[in-house]
Structure 1
Amino acid sequence: MPGRCGRAWLALSAHLDAARVAPRAYLTASWWWLRGKRLRARSQFAPLLGVSSKAYQLWILKQIGGEDRSARHASPPIVALVDIGVGRIGLNETLLSLTAAGVPAHLVDSGNVSALAETVRQIDWQEKPWLMPIMAGDIVAPAAVQAYRAAIIGSETRIIYADDDLVDGRGRRIAPHFKPSWNSELFRHFDYMTGACIARAQPEDLEGLSGEDWAGRLVASLAARTVPLHLPQVLHHRRRRPRPRIPATFHTPGGGLPPVSVIIPTRNRHDLLHTCLAGLENTDYPDLEIIIVDNDSDDPATLAYLSGLDPVRYRVLRHPGPFNFSAMNNRAASEARGQLLCLLNNDIEVVTPGWLKAMATQALREDVGAVGAQLLYPDGRIQHAGVVLGVGGAAAHAHRLLRPNEEGYFHRHALPQFTSAVTAACLVVMRPRFLAVGGLDEGRFAVAFNDVDLCMRLNRRGWQSLYEPRAMLIHHESVSRGFDRDPIGAARLARELAALQELWGTGERIDPFHHPELSRFSERFVVRL
C-alpha cells in the first residue's frame, strides 16, 4: 500500500518491532530524541529500526516512481545467458522479466558440456554485446537495461555489477544487498557479482566453461583482468545468491617473515601492560623487537615493573609531556629496527598465537598499507572490524557490538577485505611505507583519528588498508587513558574531528566500501531510512 499512509504504517510497525525486541535501547533512543539530542538519538535508532523486517519495505516505497525506459533498445546490446538450473524452476518468470526489459535471452543447460559452446555460436559477436549471466528464477528490474547502458558510456571496465535482493515464497522483496565498490580482497571470499552483473566478454572467454559454476568462473576470470564498476541500484531480484566462504585459520606462506617492531605507548596501569606483554611472549613470530613508550608514569608499582623488564628483550623509551599518541609512535618508529611496525595499545590482550603472522603476511603485499585485526570487547562482542568513513560525520568501527558467530551483514565482519581505514589499537604496516607518508600527524591528530588519517594517506599512495579477521584479539578500550569527558579533552576531540572533516570530507563522504543506501548513523550495516 504505497503512499503516505502506507509509509506511516510501515514506519510505525518498524518502531513497534524495535520497541519489542530491544525495549531498553528503544527507550534510551526516545529519551535522547525528546531532549533534542537528534544526532545521538538517530545513532541509536538506526540499528534498531534498520534490522526490522519492515525497514526494507519502507525503503522500497521511497523508490516508487516513474521510470524512463526510452533508452532500453539503444546500443550496445545486452544479451542474457540464462542458466536453466534444475527443473527449470522459475524460468518463465525470468524470461518474462527479460522480455519486459528488452533483453534477448539464450538458455544454458549447465548439465550439458556442449551447451555453452552452442550458445556462443548463436550470439552475434559483431555487435559487441554485453552478456548478463543469470539463474532461472531471478527477475531483472524494468529499469536495469537503461541503468546498465548509462554506466557503460565512457567506461573501460569489462564488468558492471549492481545491487540485488531476494524474492521470498510470497513474492515479497527481502534481504537487500547494498554492495561495496570493487573490493578484490572481499571478492576472493565472497562472489557478490555473479548473477547481478553484465560482462563484456569475447567468445574465447567462454571456451571450456561448463558445469554449475560456469557463470562464476567467467566473472572471476574477467575480474582478474579489469576493475569492475559498481552500479549502486537494486536491479536484480533473486531466488538465491552465492554464499560467503568464511576462511579458516591463516596459513602463512613459505619463506621467512621479516623482523617486526612492536610499539606500545603506556602510562601507569602495569597490570594491563603485563597482560599485553605476556601475550607477546606467547605470540608465534620469529623476530620481535618490543618498544615500550612510557608517558610520565608516576605509579610506583608501574615504575618498578618497567625497571624490572629485561633490557635485552624490551626497550623502554621515556616520553614526558602531554599525551600525544602520534608523537609517541613516531618517535619509536624512527628508532625501530624492524621492517614491519606493529602499533599496539597497552590494553590489548592476545588470545591466539598466530595473529601477528597473519597481519605481517598481509602487510608485505605490494597493494596493502595498514593491516588491522578483529578486536573484541572482553564480553566477546566486536569492537573493531575495519573503519567506515562518514558514519556519525567522522569515522566509526564497522559491525561494532556484533558477536563473531552471528551472520551480521553477509558475514562481512568475518571476511578479509579492503577497508578505508583500520584502528591503530592493533595495526601492522611496513616501516618504509609508514615513513614515506610522514608517520602519524602529531599536530592535528594527537589522540583521535590519527589512524584514519594515516590510512587515508597510505591509501592515496596505492597502499590500501586491509582488515584481517583471522587475527583476533581482545581490546580493553580506553581503560588505561580513560575517556575524553573533561572540557579540555572534549575541546581537543572537537578540533581533531573538525580537522578530519576538513582533510578527508568525512562529514559528507560516502565510504566506497559502504553504500549510499546504508545508514550513516549506524555502525551495523542497516538500510538507510
Structure 2
Amino acid sequence: MKTDGQASRTGWLLRLRVYLDAFRLAPRPFAKALWWRVLGKRVRARGQFAPLLSASRHAYDVWIGQASLPIGSDSGPQIVAVVGQGPGHDVTCGSLARQGIPVIADAAEAADGSWLLPLTPGDLLADGAAATYRGAAATARADILYADDDLLDGRRRRTRPHFKPDWNAELFRHQDFMSGACILRCDAVRRFSGTVPVDLARAALALSGQPPQHVPHILHHRRTRPLTVIPPVDKPAAGTPLPPVSVIIPTRNRADLLKVCTDGLARTDYPSMEIIIVDNGSDDPETIAWLQEWASRAPDRHRVLSAPGPFNYSALNNLAARQATGTLLCLLNNDIEILEPNWLATMVRQAVREEVGAVGARLLYPDGRIQHAGVVLGVGNAAGHAHRFMRPEEEGYHHRHSLPHFVSAVTAACLVVRGDRFDAVDGLDEANFAVAFNDVDLCLRLNRKGWQSLYEPRATLVHHESVSRGLDRDPVGAARFAGEMAALQRIWGTATLVDPWHHPQLSRASERFALAL
C-alpha cells in the first residue's frame, strides 16, 4: 500500500508524463499554449492545452488518481444481476459479490420493486458502483439508469473512458451507449427472460414511459462496447414530398463569394426553393451589377432585398423571414461552399420532424478540418463549436462528430428551421445579439418550447468563416462581442451551465471533448 507521500510523487510523475507526451506529440501547439500562459491569457492557454494534454496516454491515469464517486447508499432498493455465460463469467460474478449484488439465472426471476443489472461476462463493476446506483435509484423517476464506463485493455488497465451525454434518443439510434452499463427497474422487464444486456435494455426502453436517466460517473469497466453505426446518406422515400424552402443569405459586397454560394444552390437537388439575398449596403460596382443580373435570371425564385445600415445579422435575417414564402427557412452565410446536391433535402427531412427545431450541418474549413459539428454550451463560459479542428475521418470523441444527434444549438451559418417555429419564438434577437450568439439564443428558445436542435453530419459544406465581414479584432468589434457574450451569460447562465449533451468531466476550455484535468 502506498503512503500519502508515495501517492503524491506518483501523481506528479504522471502529470509530468502528460506534459512531456503533449510536447512530443505537438511541439508547436504546445509552445503556443505555453506562450499564451506566459502572457497571462489563462482562458486562451487552457483552451490550447486541454486537447493536447488529453491526448496523452497517461491523461486518464491522472484523472483516475483524482476522481471519486459520490457517497451512495447501502440501504436503497435491491439490485440483482444477470450475467451471460462466456469467458470472464466468474470474474464478473466475483466483482458483483464484493459489492453485495446477488446473481440470478434469468431476468424473469427478478422480484418487483428491485432493479436488474445485466452485465456482459468479463465486465467489472467499479468499486462503489453498487452504492452509487442504489443512491440514484432511491429517488429515480426513470425506469432505466445508465452510467459512464471505460475499457479494460489486455493488462486490465483502464483506458478509453466514455463520459456520456444525458439521454439523447437521436444519438442512441446510432450508438448504443446504454446497454451493459445500466440498471433496469424490474417492473419494466418482468415479462422478459434472458441474460443479454442489449435485449433487456431495449425491452425496458420500449416499455418505459420515461426517458432513461444518466448517472454521470464511471461505474463500469468493460471488455468491449456495442459497435457504433455511422449512418449512410439518407435516400428520400419515393413519392415523399418535400416542402418549399426559402434560403436567406445576408451579404455585403464580395460577389466572388456569392457566386460560389449561389452556384452551389443552383446545383442543389431540391424541388421548390426560393433564394433571398439581403444586401447590407453593397457599394462595390461589380457586386451591385451581379446582384441585378442574378435577380433577373429567375425573378420568380430569386430576390434581392436592400437593407443598408450597420451590420445586424439578426435584423437582416428577420427582415427576409417576414417576406419568405417557404414553409421552411434556411439561414445561409454568403461564404458557404456547397459540396453535394442532397444537403438541403437531408436537413429538411430532419427539420420537419415534430420534436425537432433547428437543424445544423457539419461545416468544414477550406483545409478540410471541422469548423462546426454542433454547439456546446459553457465552453469558454459562453458557447463553442464541438469537435473544431478535427478531421472528419478521425474517430474523435467516440465518433460523435459523425453521428446525427441532439445538441443544445447549431450555427446559423447553415441552419434549417420551420418558418412557423421561427415565428413562434420571434425570430433572432436583434437587440441583444446583433452579430454573435444569435443562433445559440434562437436554438435555446426553440428547445425551451420542446423543439430540440439537431446536428446532421450527412449534410457537409465548406465554410470560409467570416471572410466577407472580417473578424472582431478592432476595439469596436471586440466591445460588441464582449457585450453579446455577457448577454448570453446573463440570459442563459452559460458562465456556470453544464451542457446536458457534454459532461462535467470534460473540459469547459476545449471544444474537442477533452478530459478535464
Name which of 449, 453, 476 aligns with 1:465: 453
Residue aligned with 2:396, SS: coil
In 2, Cα distance between equivalents of 1:192 and 1:207: 21
In 2, Cα distance between equivalents of 1:364 and 1:345: 22
Name which of 229, 232, 242 aligns with 2:216: 232
Deviations 1:433-475 (A, max 9, x none): 0011010000110000000000000000000100011111111
Deviations 1:243-274 (A, max 9, x none): 21100011224520110000000011111100
Q: CA deviation at 1:122?
A: 3.4
Residue aligned with 1:308, SS: helix
* Cross-structure match for 2:161: 176
Q: Does residue 293 of structure 1 match 2:278?
A: yes
* Cross-structure match for 1:141: 126
Aligned pairs for 1:26-425 within 5 A: 26-63=30-67, 71-72=73-74, 74-84=75-85, 88-107=86-105, 119-123=106-110, 125-126=111-112, 128-202=113-187, 206-207=191-192, 213-222=198-207, 225-253=209-237, 254-309=239-294, 310=297, 311-425=299-413
Deviations 1:90-149 (A, max 9, x none): 122211110011111124xxxxxxxxxxx24533x24x2111111000000231121112
Q: CA deviation at 1:6?
A: 1.6
Q: Which runs of 5+ in 1 are unaligned?
A: 108-118
Count of residues in correspondence between the two structures: 509
User: Which one is further off, 305-314 or 157-166?
Assistant: 305-314
Q: Aligned letter for 1:307?
A: Q
In 2, Cα distance between equivalents of 1:312 and 1:409: 45
Aligned pairs for 1:10-29 within 5 A: 10-29=14-33
Q: CA deviation at 1:210?
A: 7.9
Question: What TM-score results when the alignment is normalised by the length of structure 2?
Answer: 0.95
Name which of 459, 464, 480 aligns with 1:476: 464
8 Å CA contact retained: 1:373, 1:468: yes
Residue aligned with 1:230, SS: strand
Q: CA deviation at 1:172?
A: 1.0
Residue aligned with 1:227, SS: coil
Q: Aligned letter for 2:179?
A: T
Q: CA deviation at 1:207?
A: 3.2
8 Å CA contact retained: 2:270, 2:344: yes
Deviations 1:26-73 (A, max 9, x none): 0001111111111111110001001111111000000258x856x33x
Q: CA deviation at 1:214?
A: 2.6
8 Å CA contact retained: 1:79, 1:103: yes
1:510 to 1:371, Cα distance in 2 relative to 1, 3 A: same
User: Which one is further off, 303-312 or 443-452?
Assistant: 303-312
1:326 to 1:4, Cα distance in 2 relative to 1, 3 A: same
Q: CA deviation at 1:212?
A: 8.5
Q: Does residue 521 of structure 1 match 2:509?
A: yes
Residue aligned with 1:423, SS: coil
Q: Aligned letter for 1:81?
A: V
In 2, Cα distance between equivalents of 1:219 and 1:469: 29
Q: Aligned letter for 1:357?
A: A
In 1, Cα distance between equivalents of 2:411 and 2:68: 40
Residue aligned with 2:98, SS: helix
Q: CA deviation at 1:75?
A: 3.9
8 Å CA contact retained: 2:373, 2:385: yes
8 Å CA contact retained: 1:206, 1:218: no
In 2, Cα distance between equivalents of 1:55 and 1:204: 39
8 Å CA contact retained: 2:118, 2:195: no
1:184 to 1:511, Cα distance in 2 relative to 1, 3 A: same
In 1, Cα distance between equivalents of 2:189 and 2:302: 59
Q: Aligned letter for 1:149?
A: R
8 Å CA contact retained: 2:107, 2:190: no
Identical-pair percentage: 58
In 2, Cα distance between equivalents of 1:271 and 1:10: 52
8 Å CA contact retained: 1:373, 1:426: yes
Q: Aligned letter for 1:45?
A: F
Q: Which runs of 5+ in 2 are unaligned?
A: none
Deviations 1:340-367 (A, max 9, x none): 0000000001111111111111111111
1:241 to 1:121, Cα distance in 2 relative to 1, 3 A: closer
Aligned pairs for 1:439-454 within 5 A: 439-454=427-442
In 1, Cα distance between equivalents of 2:188 and 2:468: 62
Deviations 1:157-187 (A, max 9, x none): 1100000001111121110000000000000
8 Å CA contact retained: 1:366, 1:463: yes
Question: What TM-score results when the alignment is normalised by the length of structure 1?
Answer: 0.93
8 Å CA contact retained: 1:340, 1:431: yes
Q: Aligned letter for 1:383?
A: Q
Residue aligned with 1:403, SS: coil
In 2, Cα distance between equivalents of 1:429 and 1:53: 42
In 2, Cα distance between equivalents of 1:436 and 1:488: 33
Deviations 1:281-316 (A, max 9, x none): 111111001000000111111111001112333100
Q: CA deviation at 1:215?
A: 3.7
Residue aligned with 1:3, SS: helix
1:281 to 1:205, Cα distance in 2 relative to 1, 3 A: farther
8 Å CA contact retained: 2:108, 2:190: no
In 2, Cα distance between equivalents of 1:398 and 1:227: 24
8 Å CA contact retained: 2:123, 2:220: yes
The alignment's C-alpha RMSD in Å is 1.7
1:136 to 1:162, Cα distance in 2 relative to 1, 3 A: same
